[in-house]
Structure 1
Amino acid sequence: MVITQRRDTKIIPIAGGKGGIGKTELCANLGVRLGQLGYRTVVVDLDLGGSNLHSALGVKNKNPGVGNFLSDRALAFESLLSPTPYDNLQFIPGDVLVAGTPNITYAQKRSILRNLEELEADYVLLDLGAGASNNVVDFFLVANSGLIVTSPHVGAIVNAYSFLKNAVFRFLFRAFSGESDVEKFLRNQIKERRPGNPVKVSSVLSAMAEIDTEQALKAKRYIDLLQPLLVLNMVRSADDLNIGESLRDLVDKNLSITFDALGMIIHDESLAGAHRAHKPVMAANPDSFVGIEIDRIAQKIVQSPEFPTLALEKSLYADSYELLRIEAQNDLSTLQSEQNEESLRSESDAAEFIEVLTAQKKQIQELQGTIRMLTMRQG
């Protein structure tokens, strides 16, 4: 059964439709910030076959991880918990020390999921692999509070939508596991359509209701449980938010699930500096734009007692996307002002530099003239 907002320990899977969109960086920095705020937090590397959460945390991967747990039945899952240099934050490494872990069995997957539910923490963040394989989707569906990280590029948005579509229908199949007639019906309903004619959850439920009203109501209850949240990364302009809102509209139209926005992270060069320092931004440069925006995301989580249902002030903004647009406009305006100031400083510095060069050139010319005069006199 999926873990919902009624559980004290919040499990937050973090996924994306493709690699390179920043989900591991978000997991590491969000984990650090939640710990800084005083919450017992565990970050788990479940990117099996490509684990690198330790790098984002700036720690060495020398302790047993998920791969060791799967290959050694005598190893207890809680023994994988490793300390980090950050307050209230523990880390469970992935499988980089053990080969062949990406192809895990159903029983192994269930064992991991069961042990995740038993971790003693306020927040458990799961860094999932790229793509939409069944293993990745099943880890995403351990809770109804999964985060979808994407960038405002068409390819990344399409992959994010594809991931959510796979998750929704995978969830439906799991809901009716063992009921062969319903499973067969669902397979017939959701098989690939022609381009421009995508399958819609509402149509599937309507067709199901014509056959069995109770089963359709059950399916609707399951769908309503899912409350994934968007984190839009690498934002460069307010226009980038339009594509996030388009994704929200597409999800609402075709998948019939609520898809609120948790936050956005603008493109910030300070991230490269944190990488060079081998530290998360929240440790290396918490006052950067990325640091401020990670803190904003963390504050929304801890201030929402029934997360993933967000505690929004509806008198100030209509929904999470309007709030996101306000945040983006403020941050981008501040960034533009700082860039303008830097440009003015650079122009001023350049003018001073040219003035110095001109003075030096004049001095050199005078010196050369003096040398010529002295040479002529000696002749």
Structure 2
Amino acid sequence: MRVRAGAGVHHLQPPADPLDLDALRSAALRRRAMYGAARRRGDGRLKVAVAGLQWLGAQAAAARPLRTWNLYTARRGPLMAAGNAYNMFFSIAAAAVVGFSILGLVLSGNPQWQEAVVRTVARAVPGLIDTGGGGLARPAQLFSARSFGWALAISTATLAFTSLHWISSVRQGVRGIFGLELERINPLVKLARDLGLLVLAGLALLLTTALGALTGAALDLVIGWLRLDAALVAPLARIAGLGLMLALDMMLAVGLFRFASAISMPRRAMLQAALLAGLGATVLRYFSSLLLGTVGNNPLLAPFAVVLGLFVWFNLLSQIYLLAAAWGAVAAADARARAAAEEGLDGLSLRRRAGLLRPSRRRG
């Protein structure tokens, strides 16, 4: 496409693919050349400034953070995150009812473990349990089951349906970020895999709860033995809790990317994506009280503050996971490009390879 402006004809290049690093770098070099040409021609300050800003923008577009964002928005990440948040709300609500009902039966007569479970879930999903600052349900309501009855059976069926639907929406979102179509595999195999992932996620949450309780007990023993001030050791407990939640988030991210979505990427890219998802979720939890309080302070939204706060929180969390998937897609594309370049060099003779890798020298 050509646009005539003044005395020249400018060719408008389509935006480069965020996964194509070479094309982005070439676009930055072209913008740099245009900026230099504008300065040499003595164009007006405005034109030179615009050319300089376009050059800086092209350079920024070649950086991985902006490439990740551009890929996320180009492949409808915000829209898919909204759908994931909707499904996540009903899935988490059903999981809370079923999980606490079963744990209430298993841990009946053991209030310490029940309190540990409540603390872990409250940290993992702020606003779900009312621990004094407001929430969707109180612990006494969740632990109210006295036997396995029809209500628990119906809740379990609802949990399975909503959770499987949530995993399906996550799969569609992650594969959409990677530009892949949905898998065409045996539905029974997919169902078994998704159910296995749900069971592993539940076991990971229980393991995190147990480790958190054991860590707290160990710190109490150390405080008693060494006669330390509890205020000095409290930050260690806080760091240990954050570390456990970070590990849980990273395991969940790997499960959603690798197993639920069947995404294959280099180990380093997978680790980066999982770490980004874990850190993002940790930061989001840290500011969750501020987020939920902002929704509750609005008089129009106050009657629905808990539900709306959870929807907003789930939406932001879904965006974090899809942004992490976009980061992994960019990292995987760069790894493939490097592997292709190295394979191309391997096919050359030693003399030609040395000529390509030798730095250029100016002849004066």
Band of TM-score, shorter chain: under 0.3
Hey, which of these two has a bigger chunk of helix by percent?
A: 2
Query: TM-score normalised to the size of structure 2?
Result: 0.26
